[in-house]
């Protein structure tokens, strides 16, 4: 297979610019960050987007969508000169805005007016989006805090490789943990654990050093290298040695 050279060794930085912004402090319990992407491609480019357990509100070209958590990677076509402004909600933090289990929009894109009503902003800047979301600020929900804390624990603690350990750390039984994630995160705890452990793989790739794949698989809690490769390929759409060429 011939690869698009624009995806290798950081070449994408010649065609894209990304920026990240902090939300207003009052939004921080629910919103993780704002993000912007600008691109300029004379020829169409297929951008690989690898998922995290965030729900996003995206605003582009007068259209606003709520993007539920994706269970697998996506390919997004980029062409010409354009940009998008996005809101990444904290994993577990979108439930009060949606008013329904977050699992109901997993792997779905929903018009944002169905969630936020018709008065969505058309100006894509931080102060405008801040003001809009502050108007829709939800009431405090202790279950939001519990779900956010659960995902933060997974992200920070590399020793969390199994759902049973996560449940024990949170003082929940397995059924209660599954319900919490379906209701507030939108995808199961096993998927979230796998995603953050595989993030550590790409972080090691980015350093450019040699990787002992068998040892790394064991460190991440996999029974063997084959299971690790299958998980990586299902999440990223290609085996780890192929994905490493991006760096």
| pLDDT tens figures, 28-45 | 999 999 999 999 999 999
Distance CA 211, CA 215 (A): 9
Lowest mean pLDDT among 20-24, 70-74, 205-209: 205-209
More confident residue, 149 or 199: 149
For residue 123, pLDDT beyond 80 = no
Domain extents in the chain: 5-135
Confidence at residue 224, expressed as pLDDT on a 0 to 100 scale: 87
Global pTM exceeds 0.85: yes
More confident residue, 10 or 15: 15
Contact 30, 93 (CB under 8 A): yes
| pLDDT tens figures, 75-117 | 999 999 999 999 999 999 999 999 999 999 999 999 999 999 9
| pLDDT tens figures, 155-200 | 999 999 999 999 999 999 999 999 999 999 999 999 999 999 998 8
Contact 9, 49 (CB under 8 A): no
| Collapsed DSSP state (helix, strand, coil) of residue 187 | coil
For residue 246, pLDDT beyond 80 = no
SS (H, E, C) 44-58: EEEEEECCCCCCEEE
Q: Is 140 exposed, middle or buried (0-12, 13-18, 19+ CB in 10 A)?
A: exposed
pLDDT band for 202, please (50, 70, 90 cuts): confident
């Amino acid at each position: 297979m011939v690869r698009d050279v624009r995806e290798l060794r950081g070449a994408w930085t010649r065609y894209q610019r990304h920026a990240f912004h902090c939300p207003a402090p009052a939004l921080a319990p629910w919103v993780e960050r704002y993000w912007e992407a600008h691109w300029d491609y004379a020829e169409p480019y297929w951008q690989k987007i690898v998922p995290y357990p965030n729900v996003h509100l995206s605003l582009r070209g007068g259209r606003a969508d709520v993007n539920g958590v994706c269970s697998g990677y996506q390919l997004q076509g980029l062409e010409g000169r354009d940009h998008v402004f996005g809101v990444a909600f904290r994993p577990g933090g979108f439930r009060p805005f949606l008013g329904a289990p977050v699992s109901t929009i997993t792997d779905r894109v929903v018009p944002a007016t169905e969630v936020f009503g018709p008065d969505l902003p058309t100006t894509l800047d931080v102060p405008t989006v801040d003001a809009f979301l502050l108007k829709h600020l939800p009431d405090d929900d202790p279950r939001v805090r519990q779900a956010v804390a659960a995902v933060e624990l997974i992200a920070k603690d590399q020793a969390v490789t199994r759902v049973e350990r996560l449940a024990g750390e949170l003082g929940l039984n397995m059924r209660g943990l599954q319900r919490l994630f379906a209701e507030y995160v939108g995808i199961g705890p096993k998927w979230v654990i796998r995603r953050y452990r595989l993030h550590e793989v790409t972080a090691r790739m980015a350093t450019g050093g040699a990787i002992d794949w068998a040892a790394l698989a064991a460190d991440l809690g996999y029974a063997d290298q084959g299971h690790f490769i299958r998980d990586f390929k299902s999440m990223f759409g290609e085996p780890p040695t192929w994905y490493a060429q991006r760096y």
